[in-house]
Structure 1
Amino acid sequence: MREDYGKVRRVQQRLAALTGPRYRTAYRQTVAEVAGRAVPVRVFQPNRKRRDDVLLFFHGGGWVTGDIESYTPASATMAELTGCVVASVDYRLAPEYPFPAGLQDCYNVTRILLEEPHRAGIESAEKVVLVGDSAGANLAAAVSLMLRDEGLRTADRQVLLYPVTHWDHDPKTSPFASVRHHGEAYRLTNTEVQDYLDLYVPDPSQRRNPLVAPLMATDLSGQPASLVITAELDLLCDEGEEYGRALRAAGNEVRIHRVDGALHGFIALPRFSRSLREAYEVINDFLDEVPSQQEPA
């Protein structure tokens, strides 16, 4: 991946160009401007709006590949299957823009959506849900920690799909069995994850930073109600579930769901996929739940 990330991006762009025309009427392009930088945001409207939540989506791709174009089919599916407005963020990618550039983009767009949604081209965002898959879920978790640390309003909920939460994916040293059992023969490999981290965080001393590896955080209190969805045959399975348990131990409301037989990246599969259908059933239930921890009157 360290050598071929450019090729991967070009293939993704070609594939997106083939599938893109089907979704041209489903979204509109806007930008969120902060600190002199304009971050592209693609806003998807469901055909039938069933919820007032705005899902702020950070795509996967190891912080190195993926963009709002290649994730347009997944974002359109998310809008249709949840009945929510989905805002997909085109954050900066490594290695051209290493940590914390992409994270800062996601944080800035989140603040705008929470405080002044019209600046991101969205009329109203009373309930904001952070959603990310893989590296995007890592970014969502980090954004939630940053908002808490700054004493700002946090998102109402977060949905973390097979998140990266730890810094070590070497089967010889990782504390997680899934890294050893599922890191070679399946969708995502140990080597690929480590390559992504090398590109995203070139300085090894920063990889234990909680904003890179949220499981390293010593304080996980004050986080939004969280849904952690993992894939059984994914090397990230155990660390994602461990993060969910750590959030719960810190006093947060957490639901953890493992999709049996699923591979990493299933959120981008076609709508008839069993894994994708199961995940959205759980997501929709989560969005409809009334939080058990109410704010004091």
Structure 2
Amino acid sequence: MAINKYMKAVLRALSYPDIDMKRHYLLVRQATRISHPPLPQEYVTFPFSVTNGDHEVPCRLFTPHDKAEPLPLLLFAHGGGWIAGDVDTYSRVCYTMAAQTGCMVLSVDYRLAPEHPFPAGFDDFYAVARTLFTDPFLPVRPEAITLIGDSAGGNLCAAASLKARDTGDFTPRRQILIYPACASEHDPALSAFPSLRENGEGYLLTTKRVCEYMDLYCADRRDRQNPYFAPLAAVDLSRQPKTLIITAQYDPLRDEGEAYGARLLADGNQVTARRMPDALHGFFSLPPRFPSVRQCYKHICDFLCEVPE
């Protein structure tokens, strides 16, 4: 059922189009911590860290309660526009992911902009992925590892897959990109993607906020043409993992995520794209009782059961 006029009014009131992200990003971080409550103490998790140069990247492992045998692993990069979110605020999401998929979930606490602009957060996530694939610190085979991320985290997963191909460091077999940020330009007047104009106001995530996230993440304008910053900037998208892309109907980032899937497919990769009807950007953080979340996990579980060719 489509979003009715009353819900649209509520969403518009919650979208806060006039907040200055560059001045108030710390407040956004605090709001994220409130809106993503941590797990209760009775849930057991396991901390790890991975070295990236002179920095230790914190990670947290989540496992399904009723599983004892070696399990597949989801290597997770959280959303938050590269400026908010952490393993604490996404703990409930990761526990739900482990329970719904029957996989272990390793969440990466990469560094955030603007204190640590691109490529710091990307390098942190890539360092964890490379270590996990080449010098595993967990009992998991490389072919049983799937990269997964939402929004900015989807961007990091796509970028990590591109760098892994370019360097030959490792070869991920699967990636799941949930409403990923893939483009470098989000000005509705300049972008070719209609969803930036159709969904740019009144659906929680605004195009103004997306542009501010990108500006805070970007230290050098030249980075915007770097495919590890904006995967759609890549000239060649061949030899990428089997990919599931999930987008949301009322998301300004909808079309760029679907365009990335189309580019992957055109360059010879296996791609499944699913658009969630009546869903907004960020829906993946809702509890599984919501229909869009239940359907999303069905797509994820179906995808994980498939064998890449």
* Alpha-carbon distance between aligned partners in 2 of 1:24 and 1:92, rounded to the nearest angstrom: 27
Question: 1:52 deviation in Å?
Answer: 2.8
| Residue identity matched to 1:59 | H
**1:192–1:71: structure 2 CA closer, same or farther, 3 Å change rule?**
same
Contact 1:60 1:66 in 2 (8 A): yes
Q: Secondary structure at the match of 1:109?
A: helix
Corresponding residue to 1:30 among 39, 44, 48: 48
Alignment-derived partner of residue 153 in structure 2: 136
* Alpha-carbon distance between aligned partners in 1 of 2:39 and 2:290, rounded to the nearest angstrom: 22
* Alpha-carbon distance between aligned partners in 1 of 2:41 and 2:99, rounded to the nearest angstrom: 12
* Alpha-carbon distance between aligned partners in 2 of 1:91 and 1:37, rounded to the nearest angstrom: 10
Contact 1:23 1:76 in 2 (8 A): no
Corresponding residue to 1:124 among 140, 145, 148: 140
RMSD of aligned C-alpha atoms? 1.5
Aligned residues between the structures: 287
Structure 1 unaligned blocks of 5 or more: none
Corresponding residue to 2:292 among 272, 275, 291: 275
Contact 1:158 1:227 in 2 (8 A): yes
- Superposition map of 1:42-121 within 5 A: 42-49=60-67, 52-118=71-137
- Superposition map of 1:194-209 within 5 A: 194-209=211-226
* Alpha-carbon distance between aligned partners in 1 of 2:64 and 2:45, rounded to the nearest angstrom: 9
Q: Secondary structure at the match of 1:129?
A: strand
Alignment-derived partner of residue 166 in structure 2: 149
Q: Secondary structure at the match of 1:232?
A: strand
Question: 1:282 deviation in Å?
Answer: 0.2
* Alpha-carbon distance between aligned partners in 2 of 1:40 and 1:103, rounded to the nearest angstrom: 14
Q: Secondary structure at the match of 1:195?
A: helix
Question: 1:145 deviation in Å?
Answer: 0.4
**1:23–1:57: structure 2 CA closer, same or farther, 3 Å change rule?**
farther
- Superposition map of 1:112-261 within 5 A: 112-118=131-137, 122-126=138-142, 127-261=144-278
Q: Does 2:28 match 1:12?
A: no
Question: 1:125 deviation in Å?
Answer: 3.6
Contact 1:142 1:210 in 2 (8 A): yes
Q: Percent identity?
A: 47
Q: Secondary structure at the match of 1:261?
A: strand
Q: Which moved more, 1:147-156 or 1:224-233?
A: 147-156
Higher relative contact order (CA 8 A, sep 6+): 2
Question: 1:210 deviation in Å?
Answer: 1.0
Contact 1:231 1:259 in 2 (8 A): yes
Contact 1:227 1:255 in 2 (8 A): yes
Contact 1:42 1:89 in 2 (8 A): yes
Q: Secondary structure at the match of 1:262?
A: strand
